[in-house]
């Protein structure tokens, strides 16, 4: 009896424990949704007042765990009626606009391995992907950007256009999104439409120290499904600030301060689907913060193998759903796997 009973009992205890965790997660989510409802989506706030660490699997397969719990609770019906009731409670109502934003992208993705697309001469440079187009710079400071149509033309260096910018760019962590280049110039973030040649800007008093290891960038501008994000440290401050901008008028929509994230030891980072990913100098990519729920997360790591060192820029492109990497004169593309 003991011989066959013990593993069975262990299974029951394990399932019970997982389900108890699931109830905890549901409670966390309920309070998180309540916060969202009280404060619109993505409000500016100091998130460290209410930091929540979520267990890893909560980020990965909530639905699956709920399903497992439901199935097993049916076989132990006498067991905690109340818990079961909580488990099958529908999720709190979410405003339609939030649903719309969430529908556009799923946080539950994995990243492929970097594919070498082309090579440049200068170890210091940048490469951005905007739909089917590449935009490349040859230095970490300058006025010109080279444009290439497609991977093959970048590989064979058949330049489609040379763009002259109205102000010089600083650093390598700039961005081209929907044919507009968003870039750092002293204390400004400039938006320059490469087609209409119209520009707009916003003043950001950023720290003079580089944001990342092995970098000259004072800020990192990223585009993703919800708009434009700027990662930087404010002047004379040592902590990471993040601002989300409206891409059309360059107004700040929300601000965050994330003191638990130290960018000075990482080589880069990027934002995708309202999740901040850190990129270590050895190519390890980790989801570290969820802007949607205002929580630090400890998600599944991906190791990008074979990247040249040091890493100069890592930018996600929502149009082609791929990540552009410039590392020591080599240009890579990393697919996002749904």
Ligand X SMILES: *[C@@H]1O[C@H](CO)[C@@H](O)[C@H](O)[C@H]1NC(C)=O
Q: Could you give the CA distance from residue 219 to residue 184 in angstroms, rounded to a whole number?
A: 7
Q: Could you give the CA distance from residue 332 to residue 334 in angstroms, rounded to a whole number?
A: 7
Which residue lies nearer to ligand X by CB, 22 or 243? 243
Burial of 252 (0-12, 13-18, 19+ CB in 10 A): middle
Q: Does 140 bind ligand X (CB under 6 A)?
A: no
Distances (CA, A) of 338 to 60, 106, 132, 335: 13, 8, 19, 9
Q: Does 116 bind ligand X (CB under 6 A)?
A: yes
What string marks each residue from 145 to 164 as x (binds ligand X by CB under 6 A) or -?
----------x---------
Q: Does 335 bind ligand X (CB under 6 A)?
A: no
**Interacting span for ligand X (CB under 6 A) from 59-67, 73-81, 132-140, 246-254:** 246-254
Please select the residue that binds ligand X; options are 214, 216, 284, 320, rule is CB under 6 A.
Answer: 214
Q: Does 25 bind ligand X (CB under 6 A)?
A: no
Q: Does 213 bind ligand X (CB under 6 A)?
A: yes
Q: Does 310 bind ligand X (CB under 6 A)?
A: yes
Which residue lies nearer to ligand X by CB, 116 or 139? 116
Q: Does 98 bind ligand X (CB under 6 A)?
A: no
Q: Does 29 bind ligand X (CB under 6 A)?
A: no
The phi-psi region of residue 271 (left if phi > 0; otherwise alpha if psi is between -120 and 50; otherwise beta) is beta
Please say whether the beta carbons of 219 and 315 come within 8 A: no
CB of 270 to ligand X, least distance (A): 17
Q: Does 216 bind ligand X (CB under 6 A)?
A: no
CB of 84 to ligand X, least distance (A): 42
Q: Does 118 bind ligand X (CB under 6 A)?
A: yes
Which residue lies nearer to ligand X by CB, 59 or 217? 217
Q: Does 209 bind ligand X (CB under 6 A)?
A: no
Q: Could you give the CA distance from residue 204 to residue 140 in angstroms, rounded to a whole number?
A: 19
By DSSP bridging, strand 45-46 and strand 252-258 are parallel
Which residue lies nearer to ligand X by CB, 139 or 252? 252
CB of 252 to ligand X, least distance (A): 4
Q: Does 254 bind ligand X (CB under 6 A)?
A: yes
Helix axes 81-88, 62-75, angle to 10 degrees: 150
Distances (CA, A) of 310 to 15, 155, 160, 230, 326: 45, 21, 28, 22, 9
Which residue lies nearer to ligand X by CB, 19 or 154? 154
Which residue lies nearer to ligand X by CB, 24 or 265? 265
Exposure letters 43-62 (e unless 16+ CB within 10 A, then b) = eeeebeeeeeebbeebbeeb
Please give the order of strands across the beta sheet that includes 161-170: 126-130, 133-137, 141-149, 161-170
Element (H, E) at 82: helix 81-88
Give phi and psi for 35, each to the nearest 5. Answer: -60, -40
By DSSP bridging, strand 133-137 and strand 199-203 are unpaired
CA angle 168/169/172 to nearest 5° reads 155
Give residues 30-49 in contact with ligand X (rule: CB under 6 A).
Answer: 44
By DSSP bridging, strand 330-337 and strand 115-119 are antiparallel
CB of 119 to ligand X, least distance (A): 4
Q: Does 142 bind ligand X (CB under 6 A)?
A: no
Which residue lies nearer to ligand X by CB, 52 or 281? 281
CB of 262 to ligand X, least distance (A): 12
Please select the residue that binds ligand X; options are 68, 239, 247, 329, rule is CB under 6 A.
Answer: 247
Please select the residue that binds ligand X; options are 113, 216, 255, 320, rule is CB under 6 A.
Answer: 255
Residue ranges that bind ligand X, judged by CB under 6 A: 44, 116, 118-119, 155, 178, 213-214, 243, 247, 252, 254-255, 281, 309-310, 319
């Amino acid at each position: 009896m003991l011989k066959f009973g013990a593993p069975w009992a262990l299974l029951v205890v394990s399932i019970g424990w997982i389900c108890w965790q699931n109830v905890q997660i549901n409670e966390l989510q309920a309070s998180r949704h309540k916060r969202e409802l009280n404060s619109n989506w993505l409000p500016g706030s100091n998130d460290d007042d209410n930091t929540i660490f979520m267990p890893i699997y909560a980020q990965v397969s909530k639905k699956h765990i709920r399903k497992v719990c439901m199935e097993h609770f049916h076989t132990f019906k006498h067991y905690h009626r109340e818990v079961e009731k909580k488990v099958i409670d529908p999720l709190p109502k979410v405003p339609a606009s939030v649903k719309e934003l969430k529908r556009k992208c799923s946080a539950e993705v994995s990243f492929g391995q970097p594919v070498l697309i082309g090579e440049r001469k200068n170890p210091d440079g940048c490469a951005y992907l905007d739909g089917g187009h590449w935009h490349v710079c040859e230095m970490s400071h300058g006025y010109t950007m080279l444009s290439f149509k497609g991977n093959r033309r970048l590989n064979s260096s058949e330049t489609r256009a040379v763009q002259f910018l109205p102000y010089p760019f600083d650093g390598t962590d700039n961005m081209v999104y929907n044919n507009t280049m968003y870039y750092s110039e002293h204390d400004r973030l400039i938006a320059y439409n490469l087609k209409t040649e119209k520009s707009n800007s916003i003043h950001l008093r950023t720290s003079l120290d580089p944001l990342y290891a092995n970098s000259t960038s004072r800020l990192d501008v990223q585009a993703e499904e919800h708009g434009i994000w700027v990662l930087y440290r404010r002047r004379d401050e040592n902590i990471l600030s993040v601002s989300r901008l409206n891409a059309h008028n360059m107004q700040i929509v929300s601000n965050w301060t994330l003191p638990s994230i130290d960018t000075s030891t990482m080589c880069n980072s990027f934002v995708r689907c309202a999740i901040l990913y850190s990129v270590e100098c050895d190519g390890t990519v980790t989801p570290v913060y969820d802007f949607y729920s205002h929580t630090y997360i400890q998600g599944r790591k991906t190791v990008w193998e074979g990247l040249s060192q040091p890493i100069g820029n890592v930018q996600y492109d929502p149009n082609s759903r791929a990540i552009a990497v410039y590392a020591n004169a080599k240009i890579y593309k990393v697919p996002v796997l749904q």
